Copies of this chain bind each other. A is one copy, B any other.
Amino acid sequence: MKPSGIITLLTDFGLRDPYVAMMKGVILSINPDAHLVDVSHQVKAGSILQAAGMIRETFRYFPKGTVHVVVVDPGVGGTRRLMSLEAGNHLFVGPDNGIFWPLIKSFKHTKAIHLTENRFFLSKVSWTFHGREIFSPVAAHLSLGVALEEMGPPLGDPITLEFPEPYEKDGILYGQITRVDNFGNLITNVSAKKLGHFQKKGPLVVELGNLTITKLSHVYSDAKEGQPLALINSSDWLEIAVNLGRASEYAGLGSGEMIGTPVKVSRTEGKL
């Protein structure tokens, strides 16, 4: 695969500490022309699920041949393996802890490698920062065109990740909130495709806590200011929002973590 020269970084390291800068320094020491792009460094500490969802949603907007470094690695230095993945003409580097499982499931053909060739690592490897000493230099070498196969043997049994999937029962579709974004929008795990099939039989009703929304909107301004709505968002997920407001506050589900809150989609067919 021809490298694009771009390397993206997705971690739970935050922006206060110099950890991300150290990774970038290591990359640029190997490939001075690498084009570095931050995806996010504010993944919730240790949340493999959040990072797995985010990289799956984001990688496709980059040119083919881009290398994506994903480091949410609570087991760093332990027994978990180091891996690299080729999927959809992109390359991914990170721990084998399930973080790439949604990508592996999304493509018919993927290639996973167990990173063992330590000539592609920094010469001094600490126990607690493989992002800097292993994943960054490996990504830099991949961005220079080193073949994945040179990095180690195939990894045939990558760790899987239980991803919350929506399910249908007695004519009702049950999903959940997977992300609350910067605008307080509530993003669910119900895809447009899933909803399309379900919707064929009648207009939708979306329920979240005490909140009931009786139609799908196209844009936020379909609702009056401060009023709730449901729509298919720009990443093709069912989203609950408030026009010019914050659905996360409107829903009145407490100020805590809303991720995992159930969402119920039903049809008005029987009732009309």
Dominant SS at the A interface?
loop
Residues of B within 8 A of A19 (CB): 181-182
Given A46-B244, A61-B132, are A14 and B182 also a contact pair (CB < 8 Å)? yes
- A28 and B74 form a contact (CB under 8 A): no
Mark A residues whose CB is within 8 Å of B: 4-6, 8, 10, 12-19, 21-22, 24-26, 28-29, 32, 35-42, 45-46, 54, 57-58, 60-63, 66, 74-78, 126-129, 132-133, 179, 181-183, 218-221, 231, 233-234, 244
**With A and B bound together, what is the CA distance between A14 and B132 in angstroms?**
24
**With A and B bound together, what is the CA distance between A32 and B29 in angstroms?**
20
B45, B132, B179: the one contacting A234 at CB < 8 Å is B132
Given A24-B37, A61-B26, A182-B45, are A74 and B244 also a contact pair (CB < 8 Å)? yes
B40, B63, B75: the one contacting A29 at CB < 8 Å is B63
Residue of chain B at shortest CB distance from A122:
B61
- B75 and A221 form a contact (CB under 8 A): yes
B12, B28, B45, B220: the one contacting A128 at CB < 8 Å is B220
B6, B28, B127: the one contacting A231 at CB < 8 Å is B127
- A58 and B25 form a contact (CB under 8 A): yes
